[in-house]
């Protein structure tokens, strides 16, 4: 058996997402299963080193999950040839500087999004990586969610006929922190620390829309800071300086209209924390993180508006579930595996730093739309 050992610098994975999704459910899971099979007699074995600012957190995380090495010295790691990949899951405001160092050190780059707090910096990272000839990728995890994979399969099969519109709802109630434990870090609500739901979530919606439904032509967006005061991890009150909700409409080049509401100030009454409803001439679908329901044209009930009588049937009962036909891996792991194959075997990987910059572009123009109170075009970056 041929073993491809690949060193991975994992910077900033002491946070909730970095620990659970990238470290435990992706890299550790691949390692614990003996590596990623890439043929009948070859495997890729990831060998991570944890990097961060808090040595005690790094030590505890390493010991808990059997990671041999950890350090606060990023520069030393970047100088060592045994580490071929640099992964960044830091807060957004720290990402550009570290990724730029890793590009200069000729490491393959894989990082979370947003790749930067502004489009200029995001494009510079793409340009620098291209000039340096280093392989690069950006996390675009929602494309591998089971519910959205089923949705993509329906599109490929022609189920919808002509797609007319897409409606999305994302979010949940995030405690203010005065009397309850926070579910999200407090920096999410401070602009000076790279926070804001528009910068965070519209980077997701860019790759979801671009890859599944079509290229975005224009956007109209309004944001809000509904909750003005929150309490941080130490119980100290602070003023929220960035948006916690966004109400976004996108016009696609193919004529599809997409509307997505994103909020950390909503108590969901829907099937999941993120759902997409797609309506077409021949059928509709309603996809969450793992499930997908459909209503074909032939099974669409005839509805008549009459507010003066009680409903005689439940609207939910007219939908059918798309069955699971095969096991599906964790979405983050699925993309990690593709990136590892890209680095080791030179297989194609389309979700690069330019795609990451497109997400920052949509967020930046959406913020401008909110400020100007108008529709704005999305110029091409290709």
Rounded Cα gap, residues 88 and 103, in angstroms? 12
User: Residue 86: is its pLDDT beyond 80?
Assistant: yes
DSSP code at position 361:
H
Confidence band, pLDDT 50/70/90 cuts, at residue 382? confident
Cβ within 8 Å of residue 349, ≥6 positions away: 135, 137, 338, 339, 341, 342
Residue 170: name the closest of 194, 203, 192, 123 by CA: 203
Long-range contacts of 233-238 (CB under 8 A, 24+ apart): 233/177, 233/182, 233/185, 233/186, 235/177, 237/178, 238/186, 238/189, 238/190
- pLDDT, tens digit, 9 for 90 and up, residues 197-208: 999 999 999 999
Residue 355: what pLDDT? 98
Mean pLDDT of 267-295: 98
- pLDDT, tens digit, 9 for 90 and up, residues 283-298: 999 999 999 999 999 9
Mean pLDDT of 358-382: 96
Confidence band, pLDDT 50/70/90 cuts, at residue 130? very high
User: Residue 226: is its pLDDT beyond 90?
Assistant: yes
User: Was domain 142-328+361-376 assigned CATH 3.30.360.10?
Assistant: yes
Rounded Cα gap, residues 245 and 184, in angstroms? 14
Residue 285: what pLDDT? 98
Confidence band, pLDDT 50/70/90 cuts, at residue 13? very high
User: Residue 327: is its pLDDT beyond 90?
Assistant: no
Query: Quick one: tokens of 278?
Result: 């797609």
The pTM of this model reads 0.95
Mean pLDDT, all residues of the chain: 96
User: Residue 229: is its pLDDT beyond 90?
Assistant: yes
Domain definitions of the chain by residue range: 2-141+331-352, 142-328+361-376
Rounded Cα gap, residues 9 and 12, in angstroms? 10
Please give the CATH number for the structural domain made up of 2-141+331-352: 3.40.50.720
- pLDDT, tens digit, 9 for 90 and up, residues 30-81: 999 999 999 889 999 999 999 999 999 999 999 999 999 999 999 999 999 9
């Amino acid at each position: 058996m041929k073993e491809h050992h690949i060193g991975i610098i994992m910077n900033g994975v002491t946070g909730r997402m970095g620990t659970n999704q990238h470290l435990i459910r992706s890299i550790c899971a691949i390692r614990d299963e003996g590596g990623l099979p890439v043929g009948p007699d070859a495997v890729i074995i990831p060998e991570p080193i944890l990097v961060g600012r808090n040595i005690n957190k790094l030590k505890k995380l390493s010991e808990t999950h059997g990671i041999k090495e950890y350090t606060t010295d990023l520069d030393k790691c970047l100088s060592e040839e045994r580490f071929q990949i640099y992964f960044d899951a830091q807060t957004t405001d720290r990402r550009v500087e570290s990724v730029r160092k890793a590009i200069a050190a000729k490491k393959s780059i894989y990082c979370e999004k947003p790749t930067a707090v502004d489009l200029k910096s995001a494009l510079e990272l793409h340009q620098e990586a291209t000039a340096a000839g280093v392989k690069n990728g950006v996390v675009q995890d929602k494309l591998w969610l089971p519910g959205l994979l089923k949705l993509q399969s329906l599109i490929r099969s022609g189920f919808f006929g002509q797609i007319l519109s897409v409606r999305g709802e994302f979010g949940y109630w995030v405690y203010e922190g005065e009397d309850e434990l926070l579910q999200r870090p407090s920096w999410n609500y401070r602009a000076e620390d790279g926070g804001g739901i528009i910068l965070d979530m519209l980077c997701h919606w860019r790759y979801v829309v671009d890859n599944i439904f079509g290229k975005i032509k224009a956007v109209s967006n309004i944001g809000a800071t509904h909750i003005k005061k929150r309490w941080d991890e130490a119980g100290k009150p602070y003023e929220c300086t960035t948006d916690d909700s966004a109400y976004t409409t996108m016009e696609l080049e193919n004529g599809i209209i997409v509307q997505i509401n994103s909020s950390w100030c909503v108590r969901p009454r829907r099937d999941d924390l993120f759902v997409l409803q797609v309506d077409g001439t021949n059928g509709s679908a309603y996809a969450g993180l793992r499930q997908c329901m459909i209503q074909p044209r032939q099974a669409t009930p005839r509805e008549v508006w009459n507010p003066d009588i009680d409903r005689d049937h439940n609207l939910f009962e007219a939908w059918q579930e798309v069955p699971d036909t095969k096991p599906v891996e964790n979405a983050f792991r699925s993309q990690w595996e593709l990136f590892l194959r890209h680095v080791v075997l030179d297989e194609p990987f389309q979700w690069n730093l330019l795609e990451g910059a497109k997400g920052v572009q949509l967020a930046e123009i959406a913020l401008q739309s909110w400020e100007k109170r108008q529709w704005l075009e999305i110029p091409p970056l290709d």
